[in-house]
Amino acid sequence: MTVITNKSDSPNITLVASGLTKSYGQTVALRDVCLELHAGTSTAVMGPSGSGKSTLLHCMAGFVRPDSGEVALDGRRIDRLGERAASKLRREQFGFVFQSDQLLSELPAVENVALPLMLAGVPRSQAVADSKRWFPALGLDGLESRRPGQLSGGQVQRVAIARAMVVGPSVVFADEPTAALDRATGASTMSVLTDACHHAGAALLVVTHDPEVAAVCDRSVTMRDGRIVATDTALGSTHSAVGAHRPPIDSTTDTRLSPFVSSRETPR
């Protein structure tokens, strides 16, 4: 059983999947999959539809329990957590960027960003203040009060990136984050996302069909028939891992809440 790593000489392993298998009926989605993510680095997972890449993301993010194998965050096994504990983990240590932004249309941008903090019990005033710090860093200065419908597609995804980063996550999961954007906006969005994770010391896992998206990442792995069949570490510009969870201040029950709230919890 081979574990594929971002950087063989790096001790900053954040999230580890070991020997994951997952089946849905007669369909085998994952077959003995192993993957390590390191702090401050980015990994793209590519492959055709049905290759298992989304299932891998869901298992590593705690949405789905593997049938066998383990997932560990900073040495702590997380694949057998209960529903409440898993939702708490996602709120506090994971960030998510989806193909569709999944922002709340009735809330201004800054409150959308602050939402994970407020769900974790942070007072609204503090959550909003912490969220505002991300707007200049992500090129959103002055857009704090706008609602999602008043923003461009690229701006909406940057708000989603800010929401993912505001909790100081250990890992950010991005599922086809540029699929709804044009080529230029998608490239800009990926640059913002990878830079934000690098500066914050967060591991980034991106599921994508787009080779140009994968090329921005430090490493790309290819899946087929539930297995990792290839890896390329010669992509992007490899970042050294950093540990501080902070915004890059020097750089220019609703299903939309599902990463943060279990079906048994009510938002505060």
CATH top class, domain 39-50+91-257: alpha beta
Own/partner contacts of 214-218, CB < 8 Å, gap of 24 or more, are 214/44, 214/46, 216/42, 216/44, 216/187, 216/190, 216/191, 217/42, 217/43, 217/44, 218/6, 218/41, 218/42, 218/43
Q: What 8-state DSSP symbol labels residue 257?
A: G
Residue 12: its pLDDT value, please?
83
- Tens of pLDDT, residues 21-60: 999 999 999 999 999 999 999 999 999 999 999 999 999 9
CB atoms within 10 A of CB 245: 16
Structural domain boundaries in the chain: 39-50+91-257
Mean pLDDT of 229-238: 65
Instruction: Give the pLDDT band of residue 237 (cuts 50, 70, 90).
Output: very low
Q: What is the arithmetic mean of pLDDT over 6-19? A: 71
CA gap 205, 133 in Å, rounded: 24
In the prediction, which pLDDT does 99 show? 80
Instruction: Record the tokens describing residue 229, joined without a space.
Output: 């069949």
Q: Are strands 68-73 and 171-175 parallel, antiparallel or unpaired?
A: unpaired
- Beta-bridge mates of residue 221: 45, 231
Encode pLDDT of 197-233 as tens digits: 999 999 999 999 999 999 999 999 999 999 999 888 7
Lowest average pLDDT, out of 26-40, 75-89, 96-110, 201-215, goes to 96-110
**What pLDDT shows up at residue 268?**
34
| pLDDT above 50: residue 243 | no
Determine whether 79 is exposed, middle or buried from the number of CB atoms within 10 Å of its CB (0-12, 13-18, 19+).
buried
The mean-pLDDT minimum among 41-50, 110-119, 247-256 falls in 247-256
- Cβ proximity of 203 and 57 under 8 Å: no
Any idea which residue has 């969870």 for tokens? Answer: 245
Q: How confident is the model at residue 238 (pLDDT cuts 50, 70, 90)?
A: very low
Under the banding of pLDDT at 50, 70 and 90, the label for residue 267 is very low
Q: What is the pLDDT at residue 259?
A: 52
Q: pLDDT for 128-148, tens place per residue?
A: 999 999 999 899 999 999 999
User: Is 89 within 8 Å of 259 (Cβ atoms)?
Assistant: no
3-state secondary structure of 109: helix
The residue type of 127 is A
Tokens of 162: 């800010």
Per-residue pLDDT at 239 = 42
101 — pLDDT class (breaks 50, 70, 90): low
Residue 87: how many CA atoms within 13 Å on its side-chain side?
A: 16
Q: Alpha-carbon Rg of the chain, whole angstroms?
A: 17
- Residue 207, by phi and psi: left (phi above 0), alpha (psi -120 to 50) or beta? beta
259 or 204, which is more confident? 204
> pLDDT over 70 for what percent of the chain?
82
